[in-house]
Protein backbone atom coordinates (compact mmCIF):
# COMPACT_ATOMS: atom_id res chain seq x y z
CA UNK A 1 0.00 0.00 0.00
CA UNK A 2 2.79 2.45 0.88
CA UNK A 3 4.35 2.15 -2.57
CA UNK A 4 1.02 2.67 -4.33
CA UNK A 5 0.31 5.79 -2.31
CA UNK A 6 3.82 7.18 -2.71
CA UNK A 7 3.72 6.56 -6.46
CA UNK A 8 0.53 8.64 -6.69
CA UNK A 9 2.24 11.67 -5.15
CA UNK A 10 4.22 14.36 -6.96
CA UNK A 11 7.26 13.77 -4.71
CA UNK A 12 10.48 11.90 -5.22
CA UNK A 13 13.11 10.55 -2.90
CA UNK A 14 12.55 9.54 0.70
CA UNK A 15 12.14 12.94 2.36
CA UNK A 16 8.36 12.61 2.61
CA UNK A 17 8.18 8.96 3.70
CA UNK A 18 7.44 9.69 7.37
CA UNK A 19 4.73 12.19 6.42
CA UNK A 20 3.22 9.77 3.90
CA UNK A 21 2.95 7.10 6.60
CA UNK A 22 1.33 9.60 9.01
CA UNK A 23 -1.16 10.69 6.36
CA UNK A 24 -2.06 7.11 5.45
CA UNK A 25 -2.83 6.46 9.12
CA UNK A 26 -4.72 9.76 9.41
CA UNK A 27 -6.87 8.89 6.41
CA UNK A 28 -7.64 5.44 7.82
CA UNK A 29 -8.65 7.11 11.07
CA UNK A 30 -10.85 9.61 9.22
CA UNK A 31 -12.57 6.85 7.25
CA UNK A 32 -13.17 4.61 10.25
CA UNK A 33 -14.24 7.26 12.77
CA UNK A 34 -15.97 10.05 10.89
CA UNK A 35 -17.52 7.86 8.23
CA UNK A 36 -17.76 4.60 10.20
CA UNK A 37 -16.22 2.67 7.33
CA UNK A 38 -14.84 -0.77 8.07
CA UNK A 39 -11.51 -1.22 6.33
CA UNK A 40 -11.18 -4.53 4.48
CA UNK A 41 -7.84 -5.34 6.07
CA UNK A 42 -5.24 -3.76 8.31
CA UNK A 43 -2.83 -0.90 7.74
CA UNK A 44 0.59 -1.70 9.17
CA UNK A 45 3.48 0.43 7.94
CA UNK A 46 6.64 1.13 9.90
CA UNK A 47 9.72 3.16 9.15
CA UNK A 48 12.89 2.06 10.92
CA UNK A 49 16.30 3.67 11.00
CA UNK A 50 19.03 1.54 9.53
CA UNK A 51 22.73 2.22 9.41
CA UNK A 52 23.74 5.83 8.82
CA UNK A 53 21.00 7.94 7.34
CA UNK A 54 19.13 5.07 5.73
CA UNK A 55 15.53 4.25 6.54
CA UNK A 56 13.62 1.08 5.84
CA UNK A 57 9.88 1.00 5.16
CA UNK A 58 8.16 -2.22 6.18
CA UNK A 59 4.63 -2.47 4.82
CA UNK A 60 2.65 -5.39 6.21
CA UNK A 61 -0.69 -3.86 5.28
CA UNK A 62 -3.41 -6.22 4.14
CA UNK A 63 -5.66 -3.58 2.55
CA UNK A 64 -5.75 -4.29 -1.18
CA UNK A 65 -9.15 -2.80 -2.01
CA UNK A 66 -8.85 -0.35 -4.92
CA UNK A 67 -11.47 2.09 -3.62
CA UNK A 68 -9.87 2.33 -0.18
CA UNK A 69 -6.41 2.77 -1.68
CA UNK A 70 -7.80 5.42 -4.04
CA UNK A 71 -9.34 7.30 -1.11
CA UNK A 72 -6.01 7.17 0.74
CA UNK A 73 -4.13 8.36 -2.36
CA UNK A 74 -6.50 11.30 -2.79
CA UNK A 75 -6.17 12.19 0.91
CA UNK A 76 -2.37 12.12 0.74
CA UNK A 77 -2.31 14.18 -2.47
CA UNK A 78 -4.56 16.69 -0.75
CA UNK A 79 -2.52 16.89 2.47
CA UNK A 80 1.12 16.68 1.37
CA UNK A 81 2.61 19.87 0.03
CA UNK A 82 0.45 22.72 -1.18
CA UNK A 83 -1.48 21.30 -4.15
CA UNK A 84 -3.01 23.90 -6.50
CA UNK A 85 -6.05 21.63 -6.93
CA UNK A 86 -6.72 21.21 -3.20
CA UNK A 87 -10.46 21.97 -3.49
CA UNK A 88 -10.95 19.41 -6.28
CA UNK A 89 -9.05 16.81 -4.27
CA UNK A 90 -11.10 17.58 -1.16
CA UNK A 91 -14.34 17.26 -3.12
CA UNK A 92 -13.19 14.00 -4.71
CA UNK A 93 -12.21 12.57 -1.32
CA UNK A 94 -15.49 13.58 0.33
CA UNK A 95 -17.48 12.17 -2.60
CA UNK A 96 -15.64 8.83 -2.48
CA UNK A 97 -15.95 8.70 1.31
CA UNK A 98 -19.69 9.25 0.96
CA UNK A 99 -19.97 6.44 -1.58
CA UNK A 100 -18.04 4.10 0.70
CA UNK A 101 -20.26 5.07 3.63
CA UNK A 102 -23.38 4.16 1.67
CA UNK A 103 -22.07 0.78 0.57
CA UNK A 104 -22.83 -2.22 2.75
CA UNK A 105 -19.51 -3.66 1.55
CA UNK A 106 -17.62 -1.04 3.57
CA UNK A 107 -19.89 -0.58 6.56
CA UNK A 108 -21.26 -2.64 9.40
CA UNK A 109 -24.67 -0.97 9.42
CA UNK A 110 -26.68 -4.10 8.64
CA UNK A 111 -25.00 -6.02 11.46
CA UNK A 112 -25.45 -3.10 13.85
CA UNK A 113 -29.13 -2.82 12.96
CA UNK A 114 -29.68 -6.53 13.48
CA UNK A 115 -27.94 -6.39 16.85
CA UNK A 116 -29.99 -3.35 17.92
CA UNK A 117 -33.23 -4.99 16.82
CA UNK A 118 -32.38 -8.14 18.78
CA UNK A 119 -31.55 -6.04 21.85
CA UNK A 120 -34.65 -3.87 21.60
CA UNK A 121 -36.69 -6.87 20.75
Alpha helices in the chain (DSSP H): 2-8, 17-29, 66-79, 86-102, 109-120
Phi, psi of 45 (to 5 degrees): -130, 130
Q: How far apart are CA 39 and CA 19, in angstroms?
A: 21
Angle formed by the axes of helices 17-29 and 66-79, nearest 10°: 120
What does the pLDDT look like over 83-99, one tens digit per residue? 999 999 999 999 999 99
Determine the 3-state secondary structure of 96 from DSSP.
helix
In the structure, what pLDDT confidence band is assigned to residue 115 with cuts at 50, 70 and 90? very low
Residue ranges per structural domain of the chain: 2-120
Tens-place pLDDT, residues 54-91: 889 999 999 999 999 999 999 999 999 899 999 999 99
Give CA separation, 33 vs 54, 88, 97, 115, in Å: 34, 23, 12, 20
16 pLDDT exceeds 70?
yes
Confirm if 89 and 83 have CB atoms less than 8 A apart: yes
- Full-model pTM: 0.85
Average pLDDT (37-60) is 90
Amino acid sequence: MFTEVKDSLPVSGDDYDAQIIREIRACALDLTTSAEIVLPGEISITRTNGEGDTWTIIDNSTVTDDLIITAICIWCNMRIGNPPNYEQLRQAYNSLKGQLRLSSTYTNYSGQLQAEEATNG
